[in-house]
Amino acid sequence: MAALFAPRRGAGAAGRRWLVLLVPPLLVLLLARPAGALVEGLYCGTRDCYEVLGVSRSAGKAEIARAYRQLARRYHPDRYRPEPGDDGPGRTPQSAEEAFLLVATAYETLKDEETRKDYDYMLDHPEEYYSHYYHYYSRRLAPKVDVRVVILVSVCAISVFQFFSWWNSYNKAISYLATVPKYRIQATEIAKQQGLLKKAKEKGKNKKSKEEIRDEEENIIKNIIKSKIDIKGGYQKPQICDLLLFQIILAPFHLCSYIVWYCRWIYNFNIKGKEYGEEERLYIIRKSMKMSKSQFDSLEDHQKETFLKRELWIKEKYEVYKQEQEEELKKKLASDPRWKRYRRWMKNEGPGRLTFVDD
């Protein structure tokens, strides 16, 4: 019995080996796409675009355009009239519309050099099915406007918005300083010394009302404040070079400048061991305080002088100064009545309790 079944087991093993060898080619045949160049969904579908227009593959742009105009006039749905014995693609108004769309598609395919090159390549290499699909839809779905133009317009729009926003902030700062007695009195004295207020009150041929004189005096005071006071920080006078557009243009220059500055810093202070100057000391202090340049520039001069006197560019002395500031802040909060009420509320009520207040 065993001898009878032995050959069958050998035959089964050989059959399985043949099956394993045949499976990959069968899968390739099943998954492979048809090798025909004209595929539904690409360009003119199963029709040849050259045959649709009635031209050869060597036809020039003028010949293609002339054939398109003739066929477009013939199959246009609004002008189509079936001719006797017409056995072309447009025998009825519905088929004439389909023929007109097909002619238009063929012309759109062949009038552009790049699209025509892709189409000719598809005709010559029908086996690259997925590549043809990619090129076709990548051209159809590509944005009509250059991305670089969109980026440039966006950057320009942001820069314009920045400019007007900064000017608005600057004018608000000037208007506020004009209401501060300290600066207003000084600006008024300067205006009197220069005789600007007398000119505003002079009556010429056109008499000025009190409101006009008041507005003119206010503008004179604001102009003096603009010329005499250097506003720093977020309310400083806007400059063209600070806009995003110019920052992008000057980015390579700033990068090279930073690399040169960093190399000089390493060479002078790390290698040669030179002492820090005032500018370098303030830079180290600003980095230790984690402040931006605009924030640090907005500080008063006497504050910067205090930093230099206490030698805060030295790490140990800065840690002592930082601890002192924290202790001073705690004392201020401890003596602040609002902070006391807040701590009392957190202790008695807390944010997680709901209570009904009678008053």
Give me 341's structure tokens.
Answer: 């009420």
Return the number of other C-beta atoms located less than 10 Å from residue 325's C-beta.
10
Q: Are 316 and 292 in contact (CB under 8 A)?
A: no
Give the Cα separation of 326 and 273 in Å (integer): 33
Find all residues with CB under 8 Å of 255, minimum gap 6, and list them.
none
Dihedral in degrees, nearest 10, Cα atoms 294, 300, 302, 307: -30
Judge whether 304 and 232 are in contact, CB under 8 Å: no
C-alpha 178/C-alpha 214 separation (Å) is 13
Q: What's the pLDDT score for residue 298?
A: 74
> Along the chain (359 residues), what's the average pLDDT of each consecutive run of 10 residues?
40 49 42 52 84 88 89 77 54 71 88 87 82 77 73 91 88 85 83 73 61 82 79 70 88 92 90 88 90 80 88 90 88 77 67 48
Distance CA 313, CA 276 (A): 9
Kind and range of the H or E run holding 233: none
Cβ–Cβ under 8 Å, residues 50 and 67? no
CA distance 135 to 138: 5
- First-to-last alpha carbon distance for the chain, in angstroms, is 105
Q: Which residues contact 173 (CB under 8 A, 6 or more apart)?
A: 231, 235
8 Å CB contact between 310 and 321: yes
Q: Looking up tokens 């202090």, which residue turns up? A: 285
DSSP 302: H
User: Measured between alpha carbons, how far is 65 from 116 in angstroms, rounded to an integer?
Assistant: 14
Q: What is the pLDDT of residue 158?
A: 93
Question: What is the overall mean pLDDT for the chain?
Answer: 76
* Alpha-carbon 350 to chain mean position: 44
Our CA angle for 43, 45, 46, nearest 5°, is 135
pLDDT at 231 (0 to 100): 66
Q: Cα(127)–Cα(64) distance, rounded to whole angstroms?
A: 27
Contact between 103 and 66 under an 8 Å Cβ cutoff? The reply is no
pLDDT for the residue 356: 46
Cα-based distances in Å from 141 to 138, 292, 323: 5, 45, 62
Please report the domains of the chain, with CATH numbers, ordered by start residue: 49-141 (1.10.287.110), 148-199+211-238 (no CATH), 279-346 (no CATH)
Of 196, 216, 191, the C-alpha closest to 206 is 216
205, 199, 284: which is closest to 296 by C-alpha?
A: 284
Q: What are the tokens at 280?
A: 């370098």
Residue in 152, 148, 121 with CA at minimum distance from that of residue 135: 121
Structure tokens at 323: 């601890």
- Token pair 């830079």: residue: 283
Full-prediction pTM beyond 0.95? no
Structure token digits, residue 35: 């090798």
